[in-house]
Amino acid sequence: PELPSQADSRRSPLSHSFSAFMDNLQSRAFVASQTLNDLTGYSAIESIKAANARLEADLATAQETLRGARAHYKAVNARRAATQREVTALLARKDTWSPLDLERFTTLYRQDHELEAAVGEAGTALTEAEAEEARLSQSLNSGILRRYHEEQIWSDRIRRQSTWGTWGLMGVNVLLFLVLQFVAEPWKRSRLMKGIAAEEKAALEAVRRELEEVRGFLARRNEQEEEQQQVAAAAAAAAGVAAATATQGEAIAPESIVEDAGVEATPVSSLPRQTIETNLAPEAVSWKDFLLDPSLWRPALEDLYSERRIDLRMRDASIIALEGAVAGAAIVASVAFMTVR
Protein backbone atom coordinates (compact mmCIF):
# COMPACT_ATOMS: atom_id res chain seq x y z
CA PRO A 1 0.00 0.00 0.00
CA GLU A 2 1.04 3.56 -0.66
CA LEU A 3 2.24 5.65 2.26
CA PRO A 4 0.48 8.94 3.05
CA SER A 5 3.77 10.81 2.73
CA GLN A 6 4.19 9.54 -0.83
CA ALA A 7 0.67 10.60 -1.78
CA ASP A 8 1.24 13.98 -0.16
CA SER A 9 4.51 14.47 -2.04
CA ARG A 10 2.70 14.16 -5.37
CA ARG A 11 0.30 17.00 -4.56
CA SER A 12 0.73 20.16 -6.56
CA PRO A 13 1.90 23.41 -4.95
CA LEU A 14 -1.50 24.88 -5.72
CA SER A 15 -3.19 22.11 -3.70
CA HIS A 16 -0.82 22.72 -0.78
CA SER A 17 -1.50 26.45 -0.95
CA PHE A 18 -5.25 25.88 -1.06
CA SER A 19 -5.13 23.54 1.94
CA ALA A 20 -3.07 26.03 3.93
CA PHE A 21 -5.43 28.84 2.95
CA MET A 22 -8.49 26.86 4.04
CA ASP A 23 -6.86 25.96 7.37
CA ASN A 24 -5.96 29.58 8.00
CA LEU A 25 -9.43 30.67 6.92
CA GLN A 26 -11.13 28.28 9.35
CA SER A 27 -8.90 29.32 12.24
CA ARG A 28 -9.38 33.00 11.45
CA ALA A 29 -13.13 32.52 11.18
CA PHE A 30 -13.18 30.78 14.56
CA VAL A 31 -11.08 33.53 16.16
CA ALA A 32 -13.27 36.21 14.58
CA SER A 33 -16.43 34.46 15.83
CA GLN A 34 -14.97 34.15 19.33
CA THR A 35 -13.94 37.81 19.33
CA LEU A 36 -17.40 38.85 18.15
CA ASN A 37 -19.01 36.77 20.91
CA ASP A 38 -16.71 38.39 23.50
CA LEU A 39 -17.56 41.87 22.24
CA THR A 40 -21.31 41.26 22.18
CA GLY A 41 -21.38 39.33 25.50
CA TYR A 42 -22.51 36.05 23.98
CA SER A 43 -19.55 34.15 25.48
CA ALA A 44 -21.33 34.07 28.87
CA ILE A 45 -24.37 32.55 27.18
CA GLU A 46 -22.07 30.00 25.55
CA SER A 47 -20.74 29.03 29.00
CA ILE A 48 -24.33 28.62 30.24
CA LYS A 49 -25.07 26.41 27.22
CA ALA A 50 -21.99 24.28 27.99
CA ALA A 51 -23.06 23.97 31.63
CA ASN A 52 -26.55 22.94 30.52
CA ALA A 53 -25.02 20.33 28.22
CA ARG A 54 -23.03 18.91 31.15
CA LEU A 55 -26.17 18.94 33.31
CA GLU A 56 -28.05 17.07 30.60
CA ALA A 57 -25.34 14.40 30.53
CA ASP A 58 -25.31 14.16 34.35
CA LEU A 59 -29.10 14.00 34.41
CA ALA A 60 -29.09 11.14 31.91
CA THR A 61 -26.57 9.28 34.10
CA ALA A 62 -28.63 9.97 37.23
CA GLN A 63 -31.79 8.75 35.55
CA GLU A 64 -30.00 5.55 34.52
CA THR A 65 -28.78 5.11 38.11
CA LEU A 66 -32.30 5.74 39.40
CA ARG A 67 -33.72 3.09 37.11
CA GLY A 68 -31.08 0.61 38.33
CA ALA A 69 -31.77 1.47 41.99
CA ARG A 70 -35.49 0.97 41.50
CA ALA A 71 -34.96 -2.36 39.79
CA HIS A 72 -32.61 -3.49 42.60
CA TYR A 73 -35.05 -2.32 45.26
CA LYS A 74 -37.90 -4.18 43.60
CA ALA A 75 -35.79 -7.33 43.26
CA VAL A 76 -34.73 -7.26 46.93
CA ASN A 77 -38.31 -6.67 48.05
CA ALA A 78 -39.49 -9.53 45.86
CA ARG A 79 -36.88 -11.89 47.35
CA ARG A 80 -37.79 -10.82 50.90
CA ALA A 81 -41.49 -11.27 50.17
CA ALA A 82 -40.82 -14.78 48.85
CA THR A 83 -38.76 -15.58 51.94
CA GLN A 84 -41.49 -14.25 54.24
CA ARG A 85 -44.12 -16.32 52.45
CA GLU A 86 -42.00 -19.44 52.85
CA VAL A 87 -41.43 -18.67 56.56
CA THR A 88 -45.17 -18.16 57.01
CA ALA A 89 -45.84 -21.51 55.35
CA LEU A 90 -43.34 -23.25 57.66
CA LEU A 91 -44.85 -21.61 60.73
CA ALA A 92 -48.28 -22.80 59.64
CA ARG A 93 -47.16 -26.44 60.01
CA LYS A 94 -44.84 -25.90 62.96
CA ASP A 95 -46.13 -28.98 64.79
CA THR A 96 -45.03 -31.29 62.00
CA TRP A 97 -41.57 -29.91 61.46
CA SER A 98 -38.79 -32.22 60.63
CA PRO A 99 -35.12 -31.51 61.26
CA LEU A 100 -34.85 -30.34 57.65
CA ASP A 101 -37.76 -27.95 58.15
CA LEU A 102 -36.12 -26.56 61.29
CA GLU A 103 -32.86 -26.04 59.43
CA ARG A 104 -34.77 -24.43 56.54
CA PHE A 105 -36.61 -22.12 58.95
CA THR A 106 -33.33 -21.06 60.54
CA THR A 107 -31.82 -20.36 57.11
CA LEU A 108 -34.88 -18.43 55.98
CA TYR A 109 -34.95 -16.38 59.19
CA ARG A 110 -31.28 -15.45 58.78
CA GLN A 111 -31.86 -14.71 55.07
CA ASP A 112 -34.87 -12.54 55.92
CA HIS A 113 -32.74 -10.55 58.33
CA GLU A 114 -30.10 -10.05 55.59
CA LEU A 115 -32.77 -9.13 53.04
CA GLU A 116 -34.25 -6.63 55.46
CA ALA A 117 -30.87 -4.90 55.68
CA ALA A 118 -30.52 -5.11 51.88
CA VAL A 119 -34.00 -3.61 51.45
CA GLY A 120 -32.98 -0.76 53.74
CA GLU A 121 -29.81 -0.15 51.78
CA ALA A 122 -31.67 -0.38 48.46
CA GLY A 123 -34.28 2.05 49.75
CA THR A 124 -31.58 4.47 50.86
CA ALA A 125 -29.84 4.19 47.46
CA LEU A 126 -33.16 4.69 45.69
CA THR A 127 -33.90 7.77 47.79
CA GLU A 128 -30.47 9.22 47.07
CA ALA A 129 -30.83 8.48 43.34
CA GLU A 130 -34.24 10.15 43.26
CA ALA A 131 -32.88 13.17 45.12
CA GLU A 132 -29.90 13.44 42.76
CA GLU A 133 -32.16 13.10 39.72
CA ALA A 134 -34.51 15.76 41.07
CA ARG A 135 -31.58 18.08 41.86
CA LEU A 136 -30.06 17.71 38.41
CA SER A 137 -33.45 18.12 36.75
CA GLN A 138 -34.09 21.30 38.72
CA SER A 139 -30.59 22.59 37.93
CA LEU A 140 -31.12 21.88 34.24
CA ASN A 141 -34.47 23.66 34.24
CA SER A 142 -32.88 26.60 36.03
CA GLY A 143 -30.03 26.65 33.49
CA ILE A 144 -32.47 26.56 30.58
CA LEU A 145 -34.48 29.42 32.08
CA ARG A 146 -31.30 31.38 32.78
CA ARG A 147 -30.09 30.84 29.22
CA TYR A 148 -33.45 31.94 27.83
CA HIS A 149 -33.41 35.04 30.04
CA GLU A 150 -29.83 35.94 29.09
CA GLU A 151 -30.53 35.39 25.41
CA GLN A 152 -33.55 37.65 25.64
CA ILE A 153 -31.43 40.38 27.24
CA TRP A 154 -28.68 39.86 24.67
CA SER A 155 -31.13 39.99 21.76
CA ASP A 156 -32.69 43.18 23.14
CA ARG A 157 -29.26 44.78 23.41
CA ILE A 158 -28.31 43.69 19.91
CA ARG A 159 -31.63 45.02 18.65
CA ARG A 160 -30.97 48.38 20.29
CA GLN A 161 -27.47 48.47 18.88
CA SER A 162 -28.77 47.57 15.43
CA THR A 163 -31.35 50.34 15.75
CA TRP A 164 -28.65 52.86 16.58
CA GLY A 165 -26.54 51.45 13.77
CA THR A 166 -29.46 51.89 11.38
CA TRP A 167 -29.89 55.49 12.50
CA GLY A 168 -26.16 56.01 12.05
CA LEU A 169 -26.28 54.61 8.52
CA MET A 170 -29.24 56.83 7.74
CA GLY A 171 -27.29 59.82 9.02
CA VAL A 172 -24.31 58.86 6.89
CA ASN A 173 -26.59 58.49 3.85
CA VAL A 174 -28.14 61.90 4.50
CA LEU A 175 -24.67 63.43 4.93
CA LEU A 176 -23.50 61.83 1.69
CA PHE A 177 -26.62 63.10 -0.07
CA LEU A 178 -25.98 66.64 1.15
CA VAL A 179 -22.33 66.46 0.19
CA LEU A 180 -23.17 65.12 -3.26
CA GLN A 181 -26.01 67.60 -3.77
CA PHE A 182 -24.29 70.77 -2.57
CA VAL A 183 -20.59 70.03 -3.10
CA ALA A 184 -19.98 67.30 -5.64
CA GLU A 185 -22.77 68.19 -8.07
CA PRO A 186 -21.85 71.91 -8.33
CA TRP A 187 -18.20 70.96 -8.79
CA LYS A 188 -19.15 68.39 -11.42
CA ARG A 189 -21.47 70.90 -13.11
CA SER A 190 -18.81 73.60 -13.17
CA ARG A 191 -16.24 71.15 -14.50
CA LEU A 192 -18.70 70.05 -17.19
CA MET A 193 -19.45 73.65 -18.13
CA LYS A 194 -15.74 74.40 -18.34
CA GLY A 195 -15.26 71.38 -20.57
CA ILE A 196 -18.18 72.41 -22.79
CA ALA A 197 -16.86 75.97 -22.94
CA ALA A 198 -13.42 74.70 -23.92
CA GLU A 199 -14.93 72.46 -26.61
CA GLU A 200 -17.09 75.33 -27.89
CA LYS A 201 -14.08 77.59 -27.95
CA ALA A 202 -12.09 75.01 -29.89
CA ALA A 203 -15.02 74.52 -32.28
CA LEU A 204 -15.38 78.29 -32.75
CA GLU A 205 -11.67 78.58 -33.40
CA ALA A 206 -11.91 75.80 -35.99
CA VAL A 207 -14.93 77.48 -37.61
CA ARG A 208 -13.13 80.82 -37.55
CA ARG A 209 -10.10 79.28 -39.24
CA GLU A 210 -12.33 77.66 -41.85
CA LEU A 211 -14.09 80.98 -42.47
CA GLU A 212 -10.74 82.70 -42.86
CA GLU A 213 -9.67 80.04 -45.33
CA VAL A 214 -12.95 80.38 -47.25
CA ARG A 215 -12.64 84.18 -47.22
CA GLY A 216 -9.08 83.96 -48.51
CA PHE A 217 -10.13 81.47 -51.17
CA LEU A 218 -12.99 83.72 -52.29
CA ALA A 219 -10.68 86.73 -52.37
CA ARG A 220 -8.15 84.86 -54.48
CA ARG A 221 -10.94 83.65 -56.73
CA ASN A 222 -12.27 87.19 -57.18
CA GLU A 223 -8.78 88.40 -58.03
CA GLN A 224 -8.39 85.60 -60.58
CA GLU A 225 -11.79 86.45 -62.10
CA GLU A 226 -10.85 90.14 -62.32
CA GLU A 227 -7.57 89.26 -63.99
CA GLN A 228 -9.38 86.94 -66.41
CA GLN A 229 -11.93 89.68 -67.20
CA GLN A 230 -9.11 92.14 -67.85
CA VAL A 231 -7.40 89.60 -70.10
CA ALA A 232 -10.69 88.96 -71.93
CA ALA A 233 -11.23 92.72 -72.38
CA ALA A 234 -7.70 93.15 -73.66
CA ALA A 235 -8.21 90.26 -76.07
CA ALA A 236 -11.46 91.81 -77.33
CA ALA A 237 -9.74 95.16 -77.83
CA ALA A 238 -6.92 93.46 -79.68
CA ALA A 239 -9.44 91.65 -81.89
CA GLY A 240 -11.16 94.97 -82.70
CA VAL A 241 -7.86 96.60 -83.58
CA ALA A 242 -6.96 93.61 -85.74
CA ALA A 243 -10.27 93.83 -87.58
CA ALA A 244 -9.75 97.54 -88.19
CA THR A 245 -6.29 97.04 -89.53
CA ALA A 246 -7.47 94.13 -91.66
CA THR A 247 -9.78 96.46 -93.52
CA GLN A 248 -6.80 98.58 -94.33
CA GLY A 249 -4.95 95.52 -95.68
CA GLU A 250 -2.56 95.24 -92.85
CA ALA A 251 -2.53 92.03 -90.89
CA ILE A 252 -1.64 92.74 -87.28
CA ALA A 253 -1.56 89.87 -84.82
CA PRO A 254 -3.71 90.32 -81.75
CA GLU A 255 -0.91 89.01 -79.63
CA SER A 256 1.39 91.74 -80.76
CA ILE A 257 -1.27 94.37 -80.10
CA VAL A 258 -1.88 93.01 -76.64
CA GLU A 259 1.85 92.89 -76.05
CA ASP A 260 2.11 96.47 -77.24
CA ALA A 261 -0.66 97.35 -74.79
CA GLY A 262 1.39 95.86 -71.98
CA VAL A 263 -1.04 92.95 -71.29
CA GLU A 264 -0.16 89.29 -71.68
CA ALA A 265 -2.33 87.59 -74.26
CA THR A 266 -4.35 84.60 -73.15
CA PRO A 267 -6.44 82.47 -75.54
CA VAL A 268 -10.15 82.43 -74.85
CA SER A 269 -10.20 78.62 -75.00
CA SER A 270 -7.78 78.52 -72.06
CA LEU A 271 -10.18 80.37 -69.75
CA PRO A 272 -11.60 78.26 -66.88
CA ARG A 273 -14.90 76.58 -67.63
CA GLN A 274 -16.11 77.35 -64.11
CA THR A 275 -15.92 81.11 -64.78
CA ILE A 276 -18.19 80.77 -67.80
CA GLU A 277 -20.60 78.34 -66.11
CA THR A 278 -21.05 80.59 -63.07
CA ASN A 279 -22.52 83.29 -65.30
CA LEU A 280 -25.09 80.93 -66.78
CA ALA A 281 -28.47 80.53 -65.13
CA PRO A 282 -29.39 77.03 -63.96
CA GLU A 283 -31.55 75.15 -66.39
CA ALA A 284 -35.08 74.23 -65.35
CA VAL A 285 -35.58 70.49 -64.77
CA SER A 286 -38.96 68.83 -65.12
CA TRP A 287 -40.40 66.56 -62.42
CA LYS A 288 -40.13 63.51 -64.67
CA ASP A 289 -36.44 64.13 -65.36
CA PHE A 290 -35.88 64.84 -61.67
CA LEU A 291 -37.48 61.54 -60.59
CA LEU A 292 -35.78 59.46 -63.31
CA ASP A 293 -32.30 60.89 -62.65
CA PRO A 294 -31.02 59.60 -59.25
CA SER A 295 -28.09 62.01 -59.34
CA LEU A 296 -30.54 64.90 -58.89
CA TRP A 297 -32.51 63.68 -55.88
CA ARG A 298 -30.04 61.29 -54.17
CA PRO A 299 -27.95 64.08 -52.51
CA ALA A 300 -31.11 65.62 -51.06
CA LEU A 301 -32.29 62.21 -49.78
CA GLU A 302 -28.92 61.37 -48.22
CA ASP A 303 -28.85 64.80 -46.59
CA LEU A 304 -32.04 63.90 -44.65
CA TYR A 305 -30.18 61.33 -42.48
CA SER A 306 -26.67 62.79 -42.68
CA GLU A 307 -24.52 64.03 -39.76
CA ARG A 308 -24.82 67.66 -40.88
CA ARG A 309 -25.67 70.08 -38.05
CA ILE A 310 -28.39 72.70 -38.55
CA ASP A 311 -29.62 75.63 -36.45
CA LEU A 312 -33.30 75.24 -35.56
CA ARG A 313 -35.53 77.44 -33.42
CA MET A 314 -37.58 75.89 -30.64
CA ARG A 315 -40.78 77.13 -32.28
CA ASP A 316 -39.89 75.37 -35.53
CA ALA A 317 -39.13 72.13 -33.63
CA SER A 318 -42.47 72.38 -31.79
CA ILE A 319 -44.31 72.98 -35.08
CA ILE A 320 -42.62 69.93 -36.64
CA ALA A 321 -43.53 67.78 -33.62
CA LEU A 322 -47.16 68.98 -33.70
CA GLU A 323 -47.39 68.32 -37.44
CA GLY A 324 -46.07 64.78 -36.90
CA ALA A 325 -48.54 64.18 -34.06
CA VAL A 326 -51.47 65.50 -36.12
CA ALA A 327 -50.43 63.39 -39.11
CA GLY A 328 -50.11 60.28 -36.92
CA ALA A 329 -53.51 60.93 -35.33
CA ALA A 330 -55.07 61.39 -38.76
CA ILE A 331 -53.56 58.12 -40.00
CA VAL A 332 -54.71 56.23 -36.90
CA ALA A 333 -58.21 57.72 -37.20
CA SER A 334 -58.36 56.77 -40.88
CA VAL A 335 -57.27 53.21 -40.14
CA ALA A 336 -59.79 52.94 -37.30
CA PHE A 337 -62.55 54.34 -39.52
CA MET A 338 -61.73 51.90 -42.29
CA THR A 339 -61.67 49.04 -39.77
CA VAL A 340 -65.09 50.01 -38.41
CA ARG A 341 -66.50 50.27 -41.94
Could you give the domains of the chain? 34-167 (1.10.287)
Q: How many CB atoms sit inside 10 A of residue 126's CB?
A: 19
Query: 87: closest CA among 74, 75, 101?
Result: 101
* Helix, strand, coil % in the chain, rounded to nearest 5: 85, 0, 15
Alpha helices in 180-286 (DSSP H): 185-247, 254-260, 273-278
Query: Exposed, middle or buried by CB within 10 Å (0-12, 13-18, 19+), for 208?
Result: exposed
257 CB contacts (<8 Å, ≥6 apart)? 237, 238, 241, 242
Interatomic CA distance for residues 72 and 119, integer angstroms: 9
Q: What is the pTM of this model?
A: 0.44
Backbone angles phi, psi at 286, to 5 degrees: -75, 165
How many helices and strands (H and E) does the chain possess?
A: 10, 0
Q: Could you give the C-alpha distances from 181 to 115, 169, 171, 176, 184, in angstroms and in order?
A: 96, 18, 15, 8, 6
Tell me 283's DSSP state. P
pLDDT at 264: 46
Q: Is 10 helix (H, G, I), strand (E, B) or coil?
A: coil
- The pLDDT of residue 5: 65
By CB atoms closer than 10 A (0-12, 13-18, 19+), residue 62 is: buried
What is the model's pLDDT at position 56? 94
List the chain pLDDT tens, one digit each, 341 residues: 556 666 666 677 777 677 777 878 888 888 888 888 788 878 888 899 999 999 999 999 999 999 999 999 999 999 999 988 988 888 888 888 888 888 888 898 888 889 899 999 999 999 999 999 999 999 999 999 999 999 999 889 888 888 988 999 999 999 999 998 888 888 988 898 988 988 888 888 988 888 888 888 888 888 888 888 888 888 777 777 777 776 654 444 444 444 444 444 444 444 444 444 444 444 556 666 766 777 777 777 777 777 777 777 777 878 888 888 888 888 888 888 787 76
Residue 108 near residue 86, CB atoms below 8 Å? yes
